Every structure is written in structure tokens, then in C-alpha cells.
Structure 1
Amino acid sequence: MELALEQIREQQKQTWNKFSPGWRKWDDFTMDWLKPMGEEIIQSLQLKPTDKVLDIAGGTGEPGLSIANLVTQGKVIITDLAEGMLEVARENAAKKGITNIKTVVCDVSELPFADESFDAVSCRLGFMYFPDMLLAAKEIARVLKPSGRVATAVWGTPDKNFWGTAAMSTINKTMQLPGPPPGAPGLFRCGNPGFIADLFSQAGFKNISETEIGGKLECGNNDTYWNFTNDVVAPAVAALSKADEATIAKIKSDVFHLVDQKCPDKKTALDYGAVVISGQK
């Protein structure tokens, strides 16, 4: 891996470890929100009870733990860059009495597994952050058995994800932050139709399909949305950490005004849109 990509990876590892306490705090809330994506991934994988499954960028455990409940005679390996996130995954597994899982800290571009080790690979909301997405897709293909299946979810385009743009657009505008370089890791990097499908095709996958998933981030009120964003959404936290109290107060006020325009009933249910892409080796 190129030096620049390695630097991105190390920075991401530090970031996710730093924010793992926030993910632990909001885990039930977040996993409930993201569940439809996990369910679509699981359906796409066509799992058998004896399957051995790799869950990449598994974070606090999903959809790996749900998959473990289905492959009762098999096993799930949950991987992530951040040990802090996997610690939460192990806690969640213990709470649910799930024993057929193992966690491994590793990078998707250098998977520490033999060729053709897994029947299926899942990856929910990871590809947008991989420094080299094609290398990641090729590594997934390498560790999959012949005819093995892969399924991933990525955020769609910004216009379908008000939950993310409400805060970030206001922060960027108020603080006059420079935009990221083209193709840099980020929330909506993979959102355009066909983006991941083309990547999968280049990596040698076939029978590729795309399914759009949409819904609402049900916050209930603006304060919950603001607190969630400040604990979990890394770009927002990083930016706000550099702002003074007056600037933060203005951003918060402007975000609330923007949300109220979209949610006049004050229930703060914010649109999200994702794409689930699956393929077969």
C-alpha cells in the first residue's frame, strides 16, 4: 500500500478508536437505525447454517452478530481497524449469548486470511472509508470461496441523506472549511448509482445487483439529533472541536432551524438513503 494510503489508514484507526465510546453510548439507537441495511445484506448473502462468514468493518458487531445467529453450525469473523469498536462487539456478543464469533483487528487491504477461506463476506458502511477501494474488493474476492457471495451497503447521494447534510453543510458553511480532495474517503463517496457495482466488476465479481434502501433517522427531537451527531459523526466532531463556543452556538441554532423547516411537527425524523450491492465470485 502506498505511503499516503497507509497514513489515511492510521488516521482512521486513531479516529475510530477515539470515537468508540460514543458508538458504545449510542449503539442501540444506531443499530436500530441501520438494521434495514443489515437485513438486506443478509438476504443477499443467501446464507446456509454451516457457512463461515467474514464481516468487514464490523464496528460494534452488526450485521455480524445477526449473521452468527443464522450460521448456527458455522462461524463469523468480525474485523475492524479499531480495537475499541471490536471491544463493544464482543460485549454485545456476550450479552446475547453468541459464541460462534471471533474478532480480528485488521485492514481490509491486507486481510490476514488464506485464499478461499469464506463462504460469504458482509460489509455495512465500510467501503466509503477504504483508502484503496479496488484493492479492498480484490482482497474480498481472494478470501471468498468459488461461488461465494459478497454484500455491502454504502450511503447514497447527499440529496437523499438529510440526516448527514443538515449538520455538515451548516458546519462547512459557517466555518468555511475546504472541501475534501476528489475521491477522498467520506460519507457519500460511493453514493452514485453503479459506483460499487463497477468496482465489484473490476474485482472479478459476477451476478452483481443493487438495491436502494431508504427511511428515516428517528430522533424524536432536535437535541437528540445534535447530541448524536456530536458523539458519533466523526467529521462533525472533528470540525466542532476547532470552533469556539459562539460559533458552535450559531451552528447549533442554524442546524435546528434547517431541521425545523424539514420537520415542522418537531419530531425530527430525517431522511436517509443507502445502496446495498451484492455479487458472486
Structure 2
Amino acid sequence: MEAQLEQIREQQKETWNRFSAGWQKWDDFTMHWLKPMGDEIIRALDLRETDRVLDVAAGTGEPGLTIAGLVSHGEVVITDLAENMLAVARDNARRKGITNYETVVCDVCALPFPDESFDAVSCRFGFMFFPDMQLAAREMVRVLKPSGRIAAAVWSVPEKNAWITAIMGTISRNMDLPAPPPGAPGMFRCGSPGFLASLFEQAGLHGISEKELTGQLTCGSKENYWRFMNEVAAPVVFALSKADAATTEKIKREAFAVVDSQCADGRSALDYGTVVVSGQK
């Protein structure tokens, strides 16, 4: 991997380790919100109870731990760059009594597993952050057995994701933030229709399908939304760390106005859009 991409990987590892406490605090809330995408990944994988499954960039353990409950005579290997996130996953597994799993800290672009060692591979909201997405897809295919399946979820385009644009758009209007380089890792990098499907095809998969899932992030109140975004959303925290108190308060007021304009019932329920793509080796 190029030095620049290695630097991005190390920055991401540091970020996810730093934010693991926030993710642990909000884990039940977040996992309930993201469950439909995990359920669609599981449906697409068509699992058997004896399967050995790799869950890539699993963070606090999902959908890998749910998969472990389905492959009762199999095993799930849960991977992530950040050891602190995987520590949360192990805590979650202990609480749920799940034992047929292991966690491995590793880079998806250099998976430490033999060729053809997994029956299925899952990845929920990881691809858009991989420094080299094509290499990541090839590594997933390499460790997949013939006829095995891969399924991944990514965020769709910004216009379908008010849950993040409500606050990030407000930040951008109030702060002069540097634009990321073209193609840099980011939330909406894989959102265009057909983007991830093309990556899968180039990596050697066939029978590729793409499904859009939409819904809402329901926070209950604007204050709850603000706290959530300031404790789990790294781009928000990094941007606001460069703002003075007056600017932060102005951003908060304006973001709340955006939420009010979209949520007349006061529940702070903001739209999200995702894409789930699957294919077979």
C-alpha cells in the first residue's frame, strides 16, 4: 500500500480508538438504528448454521454477533482496525452469551487469513473508509470460498441522509473547512448507484445485486441529536474543535432550525439512505 494510504489508515485507527467510548455509550441506540442494514446483509448472505463467516470493519460487533447466533455450529471472525472498538464487541458478546466468535485486529487490505477460508463475508459501513477500496474487495474475495457470498452496506448520496447533512451542512456554512482530496475516504464516497457493485464486479464477483434501504434516525429531541452527533460523529467533533464558543452555539441554533424544518412532530426523526450490495464468488 502506498505511504499516503498507510497514513490514512493509521489516522483512521487512531480516530476509531479515540471514539470507542462514545460508541459504547450509544451502542444500543446505534445498533437499533443500523439493524435494518445488518438484517439485509444477513438475508443476502443466505447463511447455513455451519458457516464460517468474516465480518469486516465490525466496530462494536455487528452484524457479526447476530450472525454468530445464526451459524450455531459455525464461527464468526470479527475484525476491525481499532482494538478499542473490538473490546466493546467482546463486552457485547459476553452480555449476550455468544461464544462462537473471535476478534482480530487487522487491516482489510492485508487480511491475515488463508485463501478460501470463509463461507461468507459481511461488511456494514466500512467500504467508504477503506483507503484502497479495490484492494479491500480483492482481499475479501481472496479469503472467500468458491460460491461464497459477500454483502456490504454503504451510505447513499448526501441528499438522502439528512441525519448527517443537517449538522455538517450547517458547519460548512459557518466555517471555512478544507475540502478533502478527490476520492478521499468519507461518508458518501460509495453512495452513487452502481459504485460498489462495480467494485465487486472488478474484484471477480458475479450475480451482483444492489438494494436501497431508507428510514429515519429518531433521536427523540434536538438536544439528544446534538449529543449523539458530538459523541460518535468524528467529522462533527473535529470541525467543532476548531470553532469558538460563539460559533459553536450559532451552529447549534442553525442545525436545530434545519431539524425543525424537517421534523414537524418534534421527534427529531431525520431521513437516512443506504445501499446494500451483494455478490457471489
- TM-score after normalising by structure 2: 0.99
Question: Offset at 1:179?
Answer: 1.9
Q: Which amino acid aligns with 2:137?
A: A
- Alignment of 1:236 with 2:236, yes or no, is yes
Residue-by-residue CA offset, 1:46-76 (whole Å, 9 max, x unaligned): 0000000000000000000000000000000
Alignment of 1:1-281 (within 5 A): 1-281=1-281
Q: Which amino acid aligns with 2:241?
A: S
- Distance across 2 between alignment mates of 1:160 and 1:242: 27
- Distance across 2 between alignment mates of 1:238 and 1:2: 25
Residue-by-residue CA offset, 1:125-169 (whole Å, 9 max, x unaligned): 000000000000000000000001000000000000000100111
Q: Which amino acid aligns with 1:137?
A: A
Residue-by-residue CA offset, 1:154-193 (whole Å, 9 max, x unaligned): 0000000000100111111111212211111000000000
- Distance across 2 between alignment mates of 1:183 and 1:51: 35
Secondary structure of the 2:70 match is coil
Q: Determine what percentage of the aligned residue pairs are the same residue.
A: 68
Gaps of 5+ in 1: none
Q: CA RMSD in A?
A: 0.5
Q: Which region of structure 1 is more displaced relative to structure 2, 38-47 or 168-177?
A: 168-177
Gaps of 5+ in 2: none
- Distance across 2 between alignment mates of 1:112 and 1:48: 24
Secondary structure of the 1:197 match is helix
- Distance across 2 between alignment mates of 1:158 and 1:99: 38
Q: Which amino acid aligns with 1:66?
A: T
Q: Which amino acid aligns with 1:123?
A: C
Q: Which amino acid aligns with 1:100?
A: N
Q: Which amino acid aligns with 1:178?
A: P
Q: Which amino acid aligns with 2:46?
A: Q
Q: Which amino acid aligns with 1:265?
A: D
- Distance across 1 between alignment mates of 2:200 and 2:65: 25
- Distance across 2 between alignment mates of 1:278 and 1:265: 36
Aligned length: 281
Question: Offset at 1:247?
Answer: 0.8
